[in-house]
Structure 1
Amino acid sequence: MKRLQSSLMIIGGFIFLLIGIIFILLPGPAVIFIPLGLAMLSTRYLWAQQWLKRSQRWLRKRAVVIDRWLLNRKYRG
């Protein structure tokens, strides 16, 4: 049973990662699917852990930039 759950987690992680990559090219929520797939794969693979940390840092930095931009826009008028 545990091997089946692990296999399903890996397969699901690769599916979400693939959907996220497709959504980079097509309109869609790639920002949701790529980290989700990496999170699922990071339970098993070191490379996925590293990419997940990179994506989290990148998303955090972008969120700060967007917050600053929105605040400046709000106060301007």
Structure 2
Amino acid sequence: MSDGPAKPEPEHQPELVKKLLAYKERHLEHGRIYRGAFVLAGVIVTLMGLAMLLLPGPAFLVIPIGLAILALEFAWAESLLEKALVQGEKAKQKAAETSTRQRILTGIATALAVAATITAAFVWDIPFLPV
């Protein structure tokens, strides 16, 4: 019977996780108030990132930062951060492996979406700037 998913071997861990584990030892030497403030900051940053999933903002940058802060105190946050970084690397690799045809079609689709948005703004008289 296993205790959950197997953790990646240390040589397969993302570089950020390795650095975080090295810093974690020093972090745990601080006092309760300092560590409590760190947890509070991590929760606030993570919640801001989650809000940015619905609101404009760099959610996919802010959420891992919040998880990295929380990972200094909690194993579950470290695990989530590691999974997010691994998935991010996979997405980066997959994007790099796209064909020229896929890139051209994506560019055309983006241009059409922008053109449709501008056309809709003119047709339905949507102001570009709030009045």
**TM-score above 0.5, yes or no:** yes
Deviation readout 1:30-76 (Å, 9 max, x if unpaired): 1111111111111111111111111111111111122223xx33xx8
1:21-40 pair list within 5 angstroms: 21-40=50-69
User: 1:2 Cα shift?
Assistant: 2.3
Report the residue type matching 2:41 in the other structure: G
User: 1:27 Cα shift?
Assistant: 2.0
Q: Give the TM-score normalised by structure 2.
A: 0.51
More helix by share: 1
Aligned match of 1:13 in 37, 42, 51? 42
Larger RCO (CA under 8 A, 6+ residues apart): 1
What are the ranges of 5 or more consecutive residues in structure 1 without an aligned counterpart?
none
1-side partners of 2:34 and 2:53: how far apart? 28
Aligned match of 1:67 in 96, 100, 103? 96
What are the ranges of 5 or more consecutive residues in structure 2 without an aligned counterpart?
1-29, 105-131
2-side partners of 1:68 and 1:9: how far apart? 39
Report the residue type matching 2:80 in the other structure: W
Task: Name the count of aligned residue pairs.
Answer: 74
Q: Sequence identity of aligned pairs in percent?
A: 30
Over aligned residue pairs, what C-alpha RMSD do you find?
Answer: 2.1
